[in-house]
Chain A
Amino acid sequence: MNAKRIYSIFVRQFYLVRDNPTRLVVIFFWGILEVVLWGFITRYLNNIVASGPNFVSVFLGAVLLWDFLTRVLQGVTTAFFEDVWSRNFLNIFASPLKVSEYISGLVCVSIVTSLMSILVILVLAVFFFGFSFAAYGVSVFLFLLVLFFFGIALGIFAVGFVLRFGPASEWLIWPIPGLLAPFVGVFYPIATLPHWMQVIAYVLPPSYVFEGARTVLSGGAISNSIAIFSVLLSMLYIFLAYVFFLLVYRKAVRTGLLARYSAENAS
C-alpha cells in the first residue's frame, strides 16, 4: 500500500470539511443533540428516583458509546458518498489507487471525524451533566475499540452495498444504527429480548460492550475471554465486510457497473 495515495483520500475530505462549515457542523451536530436530550432525561430520572442506578452513567454513557459507533460508520460512508455525489468514481477507480488504499483512506477519515465528535460531546457531557467515563474504568478502552472496529466493518459493508445497488440505496444506509440498536441492548439487558433477538444480539459485538458496561457500572468485571472474543468478533466483521466489498467491486468491474455508476444499478 502506498501512503501518499491513502493520504490523498484523507486530504480530499479534509479540504471538503475545512472549506464548508456545514460538513464540520454535521460531524458534531447529532451527537450534541443526543447528549443534550439524554442529559436532561437522565438528570430528571436521577431527581425523581432517589435510590437506584446513576442514570447519567447508565443512559448517557450508553448514548455516547452508541453515538461513537454511529460516527465511525458515517465517517467511512460519508467520505465514500462524497465521491458518489460528485461523480468522481471514474477518476478514482481508473487511477493507480488500489481498493485497499481507498478503503484505508476512508478509515483514516473515519478515525479523525469520530475522534473529533466523541471529544466534543464528551466535553459537553462532562461539564453540563457531570458524566464521567471513569465510571467504566479501563474497560472504556475495550468498549471504544470494539465499537470502532464494528463501526468500520459496518462502514465498509455499507460502502459495498451502495456500490452494488446504486446511489439511491444510500437512503438504506443512514438507518443502520437505528436498525441495530434494539438488538444490541444499548439501554436494556439482552435478557429483556425475546429468544430470537438474543440469538442475533450475541453475534453482534456491540452487545458485549453494552452488557459489559452495565456489568462494570453495577460493580462487576468483564471476563478476559469475553473481552478477547468481542475484539476478535469485531475484527472478523471487518474482514467479512472487506471481502464483501472486494466481491462487489470485482463484479462491478466485470459487469461494467463501475464505468456507468451514475446511471444507477446497471446489473
Chain B
Amino acid sequence: MSPHFVLEVKNLKKVYSGVIAVDGISFSVRPNEIVGLLGPNGAGKTTTINMILGILEPSAGSVHVGGKSVSKERTEALLLTNFAAVYAQVPGNMTVVQNLYIFGLIYGVKNLHARIDELLLDLELVRFKDTKCGVLSSGEQTRVGIAKAMLNSPNLLLLDEPTASLDPSTARTIRKKIKDYVTRGSGGALWTSHNMSEVEDVCDRVLFLSRGKILLEGNPKTLPREHGKENLEELFITVAREPLSLEIG
C-alpha cells in the first residue's frame, strides 16, 4: 500500500443481512488534505467511518492507514488514527485532564503531560481542566473530544460532524485549528458535516455518498457549477432527492 496516502480505502463493502450499506467504494486521503465525506442520512458515511476505525468488519475490500492494514495490523493502524464524533463523547464522570491522560496512555503519547497542557491551552480548556466532562456545556465537551482526537497528532483525523454543537464563533475557531493542524503537520483528515458552507471552507476535496456509493467527487468550490448547481447545498439536496440525475456512467 502506498505510504503517500494517510488513508487508502479500496473496494470497501458492507452488507447487513442482504442490505448493502456501503457498496465497493474506493478513495484516499493525502497528507495535508481535508476530504469531506458528504451524503444524506443513511448514505453510508458512519458505516464507512466505523470500518476505518476497525469497529466494523467490512464484507469486502481493505482500509490502510499510513500503509498499515486496519484488519491485519489493527493496533499499528489505529495508533496513527484518532477521531471525534458527536456520538462518542469522552466519559462524563471524569475530569478533562483525567480523560486526556487515559486516552494519552492508550494512544502511546510521548511527553503526555506537556502534550495535554499544550492542547488545553490551544483549545481554551485550561479553566475546565479539573472539571468533570459531564457538567461541561455541549460545546466545551466537543472541544474536549477534539483535544482527545488530536492527542496523538494522528496521521488520519476522522471528524464526524465535529462542529455540530458549537456556536458559529467557536465553530470557526475550531475549524481554523483543525485546518492549521492538517496544513502544518503531515496528517490528513476525513470530515463529515451537514453544514455545506463549513465543508466549502475547510475541505480540499469532497466525496458525495448516496446509497452506499460514491456519486460525485471533486473540489467543493467548483463541483456545484460543474453539475449546474448554484452552491454545495443545492448539490447536496439533489444528491439526497434525485441521485439518479447525477449518476455517472
Contact = CB atoms under 8 A, between A and B. Distances in A.
A259 B50 contact: yes
Which of B55, B94, B107 has the most chain A CB within a 10 Å cutoff?
A: B55
Nearest to B54: A94
B60 interface: no
A171 interface: no
Contacts of A96: 74-76, 78-79, 106-108
B128 interface: no
A98 B83 contact: no
A146 to B, nearest CB: 33
Interface stretch (B24-32, B96-104, B117-125, B209-217): B96-104
Nearest to A102: B106
A98 B76 CA distance: 11
A15 interface: yes
A91 B88 contact: yes
Contacts of A91: 88, 90-91, 103, 148
B48 to A, nearest CB: 11
Contacts of B76: 96
Nearest to B50: A259
Number of contact residues on A: which range applies? 20 to 34
A87 B91 CA distance: 7
B56 interface: yes
Interface in B22-61: 46-47, 50, 53-57
Contacts of B170: none
A86 B94 CA distance: 10
A256 B50 contact: yes
Residue of B47, B76, B79, B107 most packed against chain A (CB within 10 A): B107
B13 to A, nearest CB: 14
Given A16-B94, A94-B53, A94-B54, A4 B89 contact: no
A88 B103 CA distance: 11
A98 B78 CA distance: 11
Contacts of B237: none
Given A16-B93, A96-B79, A259 B56 contact: yes
A7 B46 CA distance: 30
B56 A90 contact: no
B50 A12 contact: no
A254 interface: yes
Contacts of A86: 91-93
B157 to A, nearest CB: 13
Nearest to B108: A4
B83 to A, nearest CB: 6
A241 interface: no
B108 A258 contact: no
A90 B145 CA distance: 12
Contacts of A19: 94
Contact of B105 (A7, A256, A259): A7
B108 A90 contact: no
Contact of A11 (B54, B78, B83, B102): B102
Nearest to B104: A8
A4 B105 contact: yes
Given A94-B83, A96-B78, A15 B94 contact: yes
Nearest to A94: B53
B105 A11 contact: yes
A256 B22 CA distance: 13
B56 A256 contact: yes
A47 interface: no
Nearest to B148: A91
A86 B16 CA distance: 27
B105 A8 contact: yes
Interface of A: 2, 4-5, 7-8, 11-12, 15-16, 19-20, 82-83, 86-88, 90-98, 250, 253-256, 258-259
Interface of B: 16, 46-47, 50, 53-57, 74-76, 78-79, 83, 85, 87-94, 98, 101-103, 105-108, 148
26 contacts: A4-B106, A5-B106, A8-B103, A8-B106, A11-B101, A11-B102, A12-B91, A12-B102, A15-B98, A16-B94, A20-B93, A88-B91, A90-B87, A90-B88, A91-B91, A94-B50, A94-B78, A96-B79, A96-B108, A97-B75, A98-B74, A253-B54, A253-B56, A255-B16, A256-B16, A256-B47
Lowest 4 A-B CB distances belong to which pairs?
Answer: A8-B105, A86-B91, A94-B53, A90-B88
